[in-house]
Amino acid sequence: MILRPATNDDAHALLALYRAADTAEVGRPETSAADITDLLHAPGLTLGTRSLVSVDDTGITGVVLCHPAPQPGQLRAQLRVAPGDTATALARTLLDAVHHWTLTDRAAPNSPVTLFQLPRSPAIPALRSAGWTKIHSYTRMIADLIDHTAPPTPADVRVRPATSRADMATIHHVLETAIAGHWNHHRRDFQDFLTDQQQRDGHDTSLWLLAESAGNPVGAVIARAPADRAWIAWLGVLPEARGRGIATTLLSSAFTRLRDRGHTTAGVDVDTHNNTHAIAVYDHAGMRPIGTADQWRASHP
């Protein structure tokens, strides 16, 4: 086995690695080519110095990367290992690299680094032995767009796409207000948020949708449409406007636009313990859960 930095030329092999791991851990391949593109082009990632792939005669057997997290002052790691007898040992080796990178890149002592793993990942024993702690869980949900039927729109509510920078700034403000107070949310200014969204595969400003009631913004959704899988990136309804079916209307509008682009499904990752009952909101819109992923965190003195 050799360890070397990842390159963009590894995309196909990494997709095969992730899909093999998916199948072993949840019984079906979930990772898309768009996911791998996002992985290799994560904001702030320097592939040459903050990534490693393990390679043997069969190909790439593991990968680890480290880059700034969306939350200021934090780091985010990405780790995946192929199923097999040596998977846990390989995960330990790759986590050693995360430890080294964290000591170099952290904003301050004890700055956290987080990563996500499926509950049955062979990396879990390695995470525990290295002092990582499971802190949260997310549920992945999916909608079938082929048979989607739009529900009645609430009275006095209309949904429209953003047509200007001002509209996009309004959508950002609505989302920031709607999710303020969430345990993992850190407020970002509009330009920082916009730059991040523009770097995501499938970014399309016509999928930034704003819900208005009596001319006032009340909710927003941002969807993405990479070639191989549609995605709900952001959804929020202002607290005073909740309970009127606005979230369902926004999701339905996004689903219709995604279907018109040729997509047959759309996915979303939802905080399993969200105090706004987000899973119920997505369920009401016709989405169904297909699995969970756990968030792990480590802090290095």
Task: State how far the Cα of 18 lies from the Cα of 80, in Å rounded to an integer.
Answer: 7
Q: What is the pLDDT of residue 163?
A: 95
Strand partners for 127 = none
Helix (H) or strand (E) holding 112: strand 112-117
> How confident is the model over 83-108, as a mean pLDDT?
94
Q: What is the pLDDT of residue 277?
A: 77
Strands 230-237 and 265-271: parallel
The answer to whether the 2-131 and 142-294 domains have the same CATH topology is yes
Q: Which residues contact 238 (CB under 8 A, 6 or more apart)?
A: 174, 177, 178, 217, 218, 219
Q: Is the pLDDT of residue 183 over 60?
A: no
CATH class held by domain 142-294:
alpha beta
pLDDT band, very low/low/confident/very high, at 127 (cuts 50, 70, 90): very high
Task: State how far the Cα of 173 lies from the Cα of 206, in Å rounded to an integer.
Answer: 17
Nearest in space to 142 (alpha carbons), one of 267, 300, 283:
267
Nearest in space to 212 (alpha carbons), one of 154, 256, 254:
154
Q: What is the pLDDT of residue 69?
A: 87
pLDDT band, very low/low/confident/very high, at 184 (cuts 50, 70, 90): low
pLDDT band, very low/low/confident/very high, at 182 (cuts 50, 70, 90): low
Q: What is the pLDDT of residue 185?
A: 62
Per domain, the residue ranges of the chain are 2-131, 142-294
pLDDT tens profile 167-181: 999 999 999 999 876
Which homologous superfamily does the CATH classification assign to the domain defined by 2-131? Gcn5-related N-acetyltransferase (GNAT) (3.40.630.30)
Q: What is the pLDDT of residue 233?
A: 94
